[in-house]
Amino acid sequence: MSPPGAAGPTRARKRARGLVELVVTVAVAVGGAFLIQAFLLKPYRIPTGSMIPTLQIGQRILVNRLATHPGIGDIVVFNPPSGADNQLGGQCGDPDQGPGHAQPCERPTEQPSKQTFVKRVVGVGGDTLKIRQGDVYRNGVEETGSYVQACTDPSECTFSQTITVPKGDYYMMGDNRGDSDDSRYWGPVPQSWIIGTGLVTYWPPDRIGTL
């Protein structure tokens, strides 16, 4: 027979133990979610129409943060060169650098921006690229794929000269070739600035699928 008053402390200890277990479970779940985002998967929302028709404004994707050495055709999230978001011009020393100029930007800048961009890899280190009407000719071979949204005015997306992508860099372009702020205007991206490769799109539900 339990001594008088023993039941109360026992129930209190059980409640306290249950509360501790709940706190530990929540802490582990939150910590696990943080580690997943930091080292494995991270969600991103598409802010602009530069990747139309592949990705629409507001669409959400998951990025594999372990895949930081993408290949041709991969969709990647990365930090662009510092000043890439500058609406006054490109990053190649010519404030008027843009569509229709003789040569797309081929010189990387030294510092990354804090912003994140989503684009497609169209060239890697050592590739020679020529851009005509928004289409990329990589090492003399025209890219293929239904993902390209053609330029409204093809002449504005044509560059007369061929460039070479520096070793260790990636050349990024949006699928919406007539409305994309990309490597044509601010240069290639070093591998160390790549955050990850797009894995799946999970929102909205009618566009769920792999990338």
Q: Which two tokens stand for residue 92?
A: 């190649």
Q: Which pLDDT band holds residue 104 (cuts at 50, 70, 90)? A: confident
Q: Give the DSSP per-residue string, 160-172.
A: SS-EEPPTTEEEE
For residue 35, count other CB atoms closer than 10 A to its CB.
10
Mean pLDDT of 55-81: 96
Confidence of residue 98 (pLDDT cuts 50, 70, 90): very low
- Asked if 196 and 42 count as a contact pair (C-beta separation under 8 A), the reply is yes
Two tokens, residue 44:
């991103």
**51: nearest Cα among 102, 115, 119, 109:** 119
Q: How confident is the model at residue 95 (pLDDT cuts 50, 70, 90)?
A: very low
Q: pLDDT: is 27 or 19 the higher one?
A: 19
> At residue 141, does pLDDT exceed 80?
yes
pLDDT at 94 over 50: no
- Cβ atoms within 10 Å of 25's Cβ, excluding its own: 10
Q: Indicate whether 15 pLDDT > 80.
A: no
pLDDT at 57 exceeding the cut of 90? yes
Tokens (6 digits) for 206: 């009618």
- Looking at this protein, which amino acid is placed at residue 111? Q
- C-alpha angle 5-6-12 in degrees, rounded to nearest 5: 100
Rounded to the nearest integer, the mean pLDDT of the chain is 83
Mean pLDDT of 153-175: 92
